[in-house]
Amino acid sequence: EAGVTQFPSHSVIEKGQTVTLRCDPISGHDNLYWYRRVMGKEIKFLLHFVKESKQDESGMPNNRFLAERTGGTYSTLKVQPAELEDSGVYFCASSQGRVGGAFFGQGTRLTVV
Amino acid sequence: DQQVKQNSPSLSVQEGRISILNCDYTNSMFDYFLWYKKYPAEGPTFLISISSIKDKNEDGRFTVFLNKSAKHLSLHIVPSQPGDSAVYFCAASEAGANNLFFGTGTRLTVIP
């Protein structure tokens, strides 16, 4: 069974540009989560989807971040326009039940220069 | 303000000895605690968890202890193996919540 897949694995963009991260969850997992780790700090929750609905987006930093999950399958996280402080590793996770059973993807390392 | 804290950024242990990783939390509403292991260029992998109704959970070489009065949990790995070298994250969630609060991680190095 395929795990959680994230694309791209690395992205380097200039400040002010737009970047879109993609996450393909494990098939059949209704719950999808986005997390972010800024260099050396804790992994922080961004938002949670159940199927195509946003259940909790309390962790989204600001309105430059937009997450979608059309059709309840894969999800995208768009940052527009990107700022220097957006640099970090963005993790996606999926689960069938409670978040404690979530499987994480390998992450997308975003560098804004 | 961080609700889950791992105050030791790194730990080195000889192979075969015990590794003890510590974690403190401030939120008394947390009822479920987890440890994740992370290798470079990979995502966190679930290792072991414990519910707040227990004070110990064991899985092979890994044991997690929970002290609710002290708001402290620890992960014991015994015996430690070189393959255990990784960053370990402590995480917690509230009852009914859908997000995890993570610590900053502890890098464990097991010396052969």
Q: Which A residues 79-98 touch B at CB under 8 Å?
A: 91, 93, 98
Q: Is B52 on the interface with A (CB under 8 A)?
A: no
Q: Kindly report whether the peptide bond that precedes residue A8 is cis, defined as omega within 30 degrees of 0.
A: yes
Chain B residues in contact with A31 by the CB 8 A cut-off are 98
pLDDT tens string B94-103: 988 878 999 9
pLDDT for the residue numbered A99: 63
Distance in Å from the first CA to the final CA of chain A: 37
Q: Is A107 on the interface with B (CB under 8 A)?
A: yes
Flag if A55 and B98 touch (Cβ within 8 Å). yes
**Kind plus residue range of the DSSP H or E element containing A107:** none
Which residue of chain B has the CA closest to A101? B46
User: What pLDDT tens digit does each residue of chain A (113 aa) get?
Assistant: 679 999 999 999 999 999 999 999 999 999 999 999 998 889 999 999 999 999 999 999 999 999 999 888 999 999 999 999 999 999 999 998 766 678 999 999 999 99
Contact A26, A103 (CB under 8 A): yes
Q: Is B74 on the interface with A (CB under 8 A)?
A: no
Report which of A58, A67, A18 is spatially closest to residue B94, judged by C-alpha positions: A58
State the burial class of residue A3 (Cβ atoms within 10 Å of its Cβ: 0-12, 13-18, 19+).
Answer: middle
State the burial class of residue B20 (Cβ atoms within 10 Å of its Cβ: 0-12, 13-18, 19+).
Answer: middle
pLDDT for the residue numbered B98: 78
Which residue of chain B has the CA closest to A6? B43
Report which of A93, A27, A33, A9 is spatially closest to residue B40, judged by C-alpha positions: A9
Q: Is B69 on the interface with A (CB under 8 A)?
A: no
Residue whose token pair is 């259940």: A55
Report which of B1, B40, B7 is spatially closest to residue B106, judged by C-alpha positions: B7
Which residue of chain B has the CA closest to A91? B43
Cα distance between residue A102 and residue A54, in whole Å: 17
Flag if A42 and B42 touch (Cβ within 8 Å). no
